[in-house]
């Protein structure tokens, strides 16, 4: 197979003026795929996630480390005219701008997509907000926790009895960052033939609804609000966590053949022959009686014994691991789930690895998330030709 010497997005420049998670994650994803990503932050404080710790690796929080690899960082005060002019000059030489300013701030700062596209008609402007740029909620600040609550996601997460739960990671931010990357890639592809730029308007709320796929569709199809299932599945049975003789095990039985093989492995031919459980639809209908029976069945063996039995008959299952167990497993090493980079002080820093494995191209060697303003002089000299005296003047004014 012929292999390209550079990543699929080599030659694409991204100006990442976003902060916290959704936008920076989009920028990191594009950087993983070979784009040149320049993270623009406020002088002095920068992205607030830099301070969201402990834990820290040197001056950088684990939170900031999680979504800012493969970037260069500059500081720029966009509230000052000179800072805004520099941003516009950079936008003229950029393919993609990522921003997640509040709607009221975009026009005030001169960062609306109309202004940016007037400066660079081939630009792709990706705007990320809690509730998008339209609708009665457009001016509200967007927080993942609030969006999880409003989107219905919390109403279906957590134990059947008790309070609603959020997902254990900022999932609305994460999926929005990934949807943003998909939209940017689609527009880059379209621009190759159309020749013009695009404005993308993404909302955390929209993306949080979209990622609920079959559950939100169940409501649209039936008109019935989906009940909370805990660790069970709304439409498949048995598909949930069970306590074994010594620990938790996930059963993920997705079809009737797997159900029959499970019954054989469990030495419960009677369940396999029971007409009430013959099909998935019947198992869903008779969920309560079946699950009550399986609770006792699963306690007859420990996790290791169940794994041996279920692997032998190809029934989907999994033990419940923590991060230490996962990252100690050979699969994690085989897939590069943990990587080690070197920071600006020459110190090693462990990061979660990019998930991409693409034959036919050469993906970049990941670089450490940058310190605040680490590349300001380098970028402004390289792209705008600013000399040392001009940079010193801008720094004295607090523009950079």
Which positions are annotated as active-site residues? 173
What is the secondary structure of 61-123 as a DSSP string? EHHHHTT--S-EEEE--TTSHHHHHHHHHHHHT-SEEEE---HHHHHHHT--HHHHHHH-TT-
CA distance 247 to 395: 58
Q: Show the CA angle centred on residue 348, arms to residues 344 and 352, nearest 5°.
A: 105
Q: Which residue has tokens 């419940």?
A: 320
Q: Are 117 and 38 in contact (CB under 8 A)?
A: no
Q: Are strands 56-57 and 60-61 parallel, antiparallel or unpaired?
A: antiparallel
Q: Are 96 and 188 in contact (CB under 8 A)?
A: yes
> Residue 40 is inside which H or E element, if any?
strand 36-41
Structure tokens at 164: 């609603």
E strand map for 171-295:
198-203, 239-243, 248-252
CA distance 25 to 11: 20
327 backbone dihedrals φ, ψ, rounded to 5° = -75, -10
Whether the ω angle into residue 68 lies within 30 degrees of 0, i.e. cis, is: no
Bridge partners of residue 239, in order along the sequence: 252
CB atoms within 10 A of CB 301: 19
Q: Are 40 and 74 in contact (CB under 8 A)?
A: yes
Residue 204 — left, alpha, or beta (φ > 0 → left; ψ -120 to 50 → alpha)?
Answer: alpha
CA distance 208 to 173: 8
Among 224, 221, 229, 216, residue whose Cα is nearest residue 152 = 216
- Local structure of 195: helix, strand or coil: coil
């Amino acid at each position: 197979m012929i292999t390209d010497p550079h990543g699929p997005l080599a030659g694409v420049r991204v100006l990442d003026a976003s902060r916290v998670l959704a936008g920076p994650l989009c920028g990191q994803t594009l950087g993983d795929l070979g784009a040149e990503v320049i993270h623009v932050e406020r002088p002095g404080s920068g992205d607030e996630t830099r301070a969201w710790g402990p834990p820290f690796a040197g001056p950088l929080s684990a939170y900031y480390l999680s979504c800012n690899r493969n970037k260069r960082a500059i500081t720029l005060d966009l509230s000052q005219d000179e800072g805004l002019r520099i941003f516009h000059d950079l936008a003229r030489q950029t393919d993609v701008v990522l921003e997640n300013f509040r709607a009221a701030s975009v026009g005030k700062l001169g960062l609306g997509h109309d202004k940016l596209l007037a400066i660079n008609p081939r630009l792709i402007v990706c705007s990320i907000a809690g509730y998008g740029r339209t609708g009665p909620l457009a001016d509200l600040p967007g927080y993942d926790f609030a969006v999880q609550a409003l989107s219905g996601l919390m109403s279906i997460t957590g134990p059947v009895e008790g309070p609603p739960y959020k997902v254990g990671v900022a999932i609305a931010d994460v999926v929005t960052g990934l949807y943003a990357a998909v939209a940017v890639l689609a527009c880059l592809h379209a621009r190759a033939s159309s020749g013009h730029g695009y404005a993308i308007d993404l909302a955390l709320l929209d993306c949080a609804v979209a990622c609920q796929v079959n559950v939100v569709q169940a409501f649209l199809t039936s008109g019935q609000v989906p009940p909370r299932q805990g660790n069970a599945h709304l439409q498949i049975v048995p598909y949930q966590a069970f306590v074994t003789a010594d620990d938790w095990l996930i059963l993920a039985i997705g079809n009737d053949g797997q159900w029959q093989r499970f019954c054989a492995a469990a030495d419960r031919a009677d369940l396999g022959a029971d007409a009430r459980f013959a099909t998935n639809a019947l198992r869903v209908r008779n969920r309560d009686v079946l699950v009550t029976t399986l609770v006792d069945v699963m306690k007859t063996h420990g996790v290791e014994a169940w794994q041996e039995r279920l692997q032998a008959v190809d029934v989907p299952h999994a033990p419940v691991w923590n991060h230490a167990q996962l990252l100690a497993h050979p699969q994690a090493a085989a897939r590069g789930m943990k990587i080690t980079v070197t920071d600006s002080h020459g110190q090693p820093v462990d990061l979660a690895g990019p998930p991409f494995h693409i034959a036919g191209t050469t993906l970049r060697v990941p670089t450490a998330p940058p310190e605040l303003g680490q590349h300001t002089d380098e970028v402004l000299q390289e792209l705008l030709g600013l000399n040392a005296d001009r940079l010193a003047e801008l720094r004295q004014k607090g523009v950079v």
